[in-house]
Structure 1
Amino acid sequence: MTELSGTTAIVTGASRGFGRAIAASLVGAGARVVGVARDRTALESTAELLGDGFEPCVADVTDFTLPGRLFDAYRPGLVVLNAGARPLPRALQQLTWEAFSSAWETDVRQAFAFHREALLAPLEPGSTVIAVSSRAAIGGSPLSGGYAGAKATVRFVAGYAADESTRAGLGIRFLSLLPDLTDATGLGGAAVDAYARRLGIDVAEFLRRRGPGQLSPEQVGAAVLDLARGKGENGAAYCVTAEAFEQLG
């Protein structure tokens, strides 16, 4: 028996990239993972990879009824909000409002809906909700429209929910995780390519200038697993890079 045996976890955006790695880490630790994504084929591929510990759930996180339906059906002890819109990598003047605001309509909407439902249901004392934000929330991201601002708001929402949990004595931990930019995912790879072209250099040179090592999805999965095991007090935010996993001040 492993330490997360008997725990049910909901992971959104679980069909690829960080989400798949997070699901794999949790399944490996004994959790039953309900993986949520819109792409049925990619979810089925993930289920084949991870086995019986992974249950695919084809759904759209922008559906405001989804959190309630999932919480009623599974009563999770852990919720990891990883799903998000893939921003169009363009300069500000090259974006429409719809493209600029896509992360607000997906990432922030998801964070609001799931955190709200976790507080209202409420989840059981001892439960944990982890919102996956981005280091772009700290430094900005000029080629992704409203993405950085949306990810900053995701972190704020997690903090607000942590305060409400404390005020009401709910015993639910709300945490946020800010992964570094990496070319190891589809979203990150598109961003790396766009920034390299903006600087007039190739991707290899862009990555070299960023320093040794690139964050891997497996490192993000390991970070989430540490948080699921109890690392971090309610309201804490963590940054994960290729070199470090550390709490933000």
Structure 2
Amino acid sequence: MTELDGTTALVVGAGRGLGRGIALALADAEAAVVGVARTGGDLDELAAANGRIRTETADAADPETAWRILDRYEPDVLVLVAGANPVMRPLQHHTWETFSANWNADVKIAFTWLREALLRPLRPGGRIVVVSSGAAIGGSPASGGYAGAKAAQRFIAGYAQDESDRAGLGLAVTAVLPKITPHGDIGRRGIRAYAARSGETEDVFTKRLGDLLTPERAGSAVLELVRTDPPELAAGYLLTAAGLTKLP
């Protein structure tokens, strides 16, 4: 899949941040892109930025959304970026509802879309990228169940690859774990909370992060994965400003 002309790519969570960068990168590579998000205004701006992008305003966590959109567009590439903003509180100040917010959004989205991709199934050779978070490795003590939810996404991606292999579906499923970045709502909220937790200003905390991952760099990374031959793909990658690093 080195040439993307004639390829349909579906990006779930394309309205802002890394998802927007991924959608634009795929469109710039001449894929026909379908961007899915809950906010129509964000999608209007995305579509205006590249004429190869069509949009669907929908709730990605709704199982009917996954079935309907996969059935309509039959994508060759599926990228799952959507999720909820975590509630940034120490553990003792959470309720179960706030603690589990990302399980009911991020994990549900990964489960729902991967389930439909296996049941439908996508055409052999289909590529699926699940965008998790570096918090799945390092934890995130100020964001409730966020880190555990992102780790679960990584596990689910691996399970989906196993089931594709068992059924001979020919799909390639990969998890990508981006480092925290201010270029997105979730990252900005995280930086604000951890700066306050450490008694620093946001600027000081952000500078300590070093080179920052941008939506454009995330788009380049996903494009790189889509163009990689499946036997050479790892099950998971850490994504930083320097690029992709295979995870054990």
For Structure 1 versus Structure 2, the TM-score category normalised by the shorter chain is over 0.9
Q: Counterparts of 1:95 and 1:136 in 2: how far apart (Å)?
A: 18
- How far did residue 205 of structure 1 move? 1.5
The residue number in structure 2 matching 1:22 is: 22
Q: Does the CA contact (< 8 Å) of 1:89 and 1:191 recur in 2?
A: yes
Q: Counterparts of 1:86 and 1:75 in 2: how far apart (Å)?
A: 29
Structure 1 counterpart of 2:6, one-letter code: G
- TM-score scaled by length of structure 2: 0.96
After the TM superposition, which residues 216-235 of structure 1 pair with which residues of structure 2 at under 5 Å, given as runs? 216-230=214-228, 233=231
Partner secondary structure for residue 140 of structure 2: coil
Give the aligned length.
Answer: 246
- TM-score scaled by length of structure 1: 0.95
Structure 2 counterpart of 1:4, one-letter code: L
The residue number in structure 1 matching 2:5 is: 5
Structure 2 counterpart of 1:229, one-letter code: R
After the TM superposition, which residues 89-238 of structure 1 pair with which residues of structure 2 at under 5 Å, given as runs? 89-210=88-209, 212-230=210-228, 233=231, 236-238=235-237
Is 229-238 or 124-133 further displaced after alignment? 229-238
Partner secondary structure for residue 171 of structure 1: coil
Q: Does the CA contact (< 8 Å) of 1:141 and 1:147 recur in 2?
A: yes
Q: Does the CA contact (< 8 Å) of 1:158 and 1:235 recur in 2?
A: no
Structure 1 counterpart of 2:13, one-letter code: G
Q: Does the CA contact (< 8 Å) of 1:175 and 1:232 recur in 2?
A: no
Partner secondary structure for residue 50 of structure 2: helix
Q: Does the CA contact (< 8 Å) of 2:36 and 2:58 recur in 1?
A: yes
The residue number in structure 2 matching 1:75 is: 74
Which 4+ runs in 1 deviate beyond 3 A? 231-235
- How far did residue 76 of structure 1 move? 0.4
- How far did residue 231 of structure 1 move? 5.2
Q: State the percentage of identical aligned residues.
A: 49
Q: Counterparts of 2:56 and 2:207 in 1: how far apart (Å)?
A: 39
Structure 2 counterpart of 1:223, one-letter code: A
Q: Does the CA contact (< 8 Å) of 2:221 and 2:243 recur in 1?
A: no
Structure 2 counterpart of 1:148, one-letter code: A
- How far did residue 207 of structure 1 move? 2.2
Q: Does the CA contact (< 8 Å) of 1:5 and 1:30 recur in 2?
A: yes
- How far did residue 193 of structure 1 move? 1.0
Q: Does the CA contact (< 8 Å) of 1:174 and 1:235 recur in 2?
A: no
Q: Counterparts of 1:199 and 1:172 in 2: how far apart (Å)?
A: 43
Structure 2 counterpart of 1:9, one-letter code: A
Q: Counterparts of 2:188 and 2:31 in 1: how far apart (Å)?
A: 30
Q: Counterparts of 1:85 and 1:102 in 2: how far apart (Å)?
A: 7
Structure 1 counterpart of 2:143, one-letter code: S
Q: Counterparts of 1:87 and 1:25 in 2: how far apart (Å)?
A: 27
Q: Counterparts of 1:189 and 1:43 in 2: how far apart (Å)?
A: 21
Q: Does the CA contact (< 8 Å) of 2:192 and 2:202 recur in 1?
A: yes
**CA offsets, 1:36-75, max 9 Å, x none?**
0010111111111122x10010000111112211121111
Partner secondary structure for residue 63 of structure 2: coil
